[in-house]
Amino acid sequence: MEQPRLISVNARIGSEELGLEVEIRLRQLDGRWLAVADFGGEPEVGIGATPRVALAAAFATLGERAAAALMADPQLFGISVALREPA
């Protein structure tokens, strides 16, 4: 029996405009994604079919403007690459 592949990435993203910095953790196991966004000790969890959906769900409590600014952070491109690389 083949072991499921666990994908895990930790990163920090932010919005200088909003003065916001967030630690994020993305985990995937068997096709399900979990995102944990830590806003200064206040973790928010999001679950989704893709990393972006899970991350957007974790950012939802910040409000639309702040969530959109974080989702537009160019560092997410690097995170996307890290998620695609084999372990």
User: For residue 18, is pLDDT > 90?
Assistant: no
Confidence of residue 1 (pLDDT cuts 50, 70, 90): low
d(CA 85, CA 23) in angstroms, rounded, equals 21
- Backbone dihedral angles phi then psi of residue 7, each to the nearest 5 degrees: -110, 135
Strands 43-48 and 32-38, sheet pairing: antiparallel
Residue range 67-85: mean pLDDT, rounded: 82
**Domain extent listing, the chain:** 6-84
Strand partners, 27: 8, 34
Query: What is the reported pTM?
Result: 0.82
